[in-house]
Amino acid sequence: MKKGRFIVFEGLDGSGKSTQILEVAKELRRRGEKVWLTAEPTVSPTGSYIRTILAESLEKDMYLQGALFLADRIEHNTDPEDGILKHLKDGETVICDRYYYSSFAYQGTGSDLNWLMQMNLSCSQIAKPDLCIFLDVDPLTCKNRIDRDREKAELYEHDIMLMEKIRNKFFHVFACLKDKENIVVVDANMEMNEVTKEILKNV
Ligand code: TYD
């Protein structure tokens, strides 16, 4: 039985998710909520394998990548000690950096989006978020931040055209899910404090 709230942050690489998640968590804790922060890919063995694929830009089949993220997500939910379902059951607010929307946008560009959506959305072991916040930043700004902040770009961070494609895919997916999921797009090109305020209005 789920008691806590489940909030997911999505956005392109370099959209400022990690910074905003910390700001939002700080504010919710100040208001007395117990907040558990987590992220995908996770630190599980499957998550580590995924991180190797990303860091070394290995050209793995997109269906395989979709299935790996799915397996990682199921373990992320069902871990009896430290899983999403357990934290929600304990009444905590769970904030997750990326979730199935990323699978749809990233793996959906090179495999079968319907297959990915069906696998993730019809799985009873994968909790449905109460809210998804999409931080929308111009892909060129994201790419400039990645080039400035990272020593080496990861699999999906090399190519601005690909980042544009992924952003379009996110919006396509949000349109498909508009009657089923609670998704809010926040213009995150604004100054950081303004973005945080805008997110908190929705949270
Ligand atoms: P990211 O949030 O950028 O983590 P970090 O800041 O630690 O690098 O996520 C890593 C990458 O994983 C990102 O490029 C998107 C990708 N990804 C997918 O392709 N599919 C998924 O289902 C998820 C959760 C992430």
Q: What does each of the 203 residues of the chain score in pLDDT, given as a tens digit?
A: 779 999 999 999 999 999 999 999 999 999 999 999 999 999 999 999 999 999 999 999 999 999 999 999 999 999 999 999 999 999 999 999 999 999 999 999 889 999 999 999 999 999 999 999 999 999 999 999 999 998 898 988 889 999 999 999 999 999 999 999 999 999 999 999 999 999 999 99
Judge if the beta carbon of residue 76 lies within 6 A of ligand 1.
no
Q: Which two tokens stand for residue 158?
A: 């090399």
Cβ proximity of 119 and 61 under 8 Å = no
Q: For a pocket test of ligand 1, which of 40, 48, 166 has the largest count of ligand atoms closer than 8 A to its C-beta?
A: 40
At 147 the pLDDT is 93
- Between the alpha carbon of residue 36 and those of residues 6, 103, 127, 182, the distances in Å are 10, 22, 15, 20
* 181 bridge partner residues: none
At 158 the pLDDT is 86
| 3-state secondary structure (DSSP) of residue 101 | helix
Distance CA 116, CA 104 (A): 6
Judge if the beta carbon of residue 93 lies within 6 A of ligand 1.
no
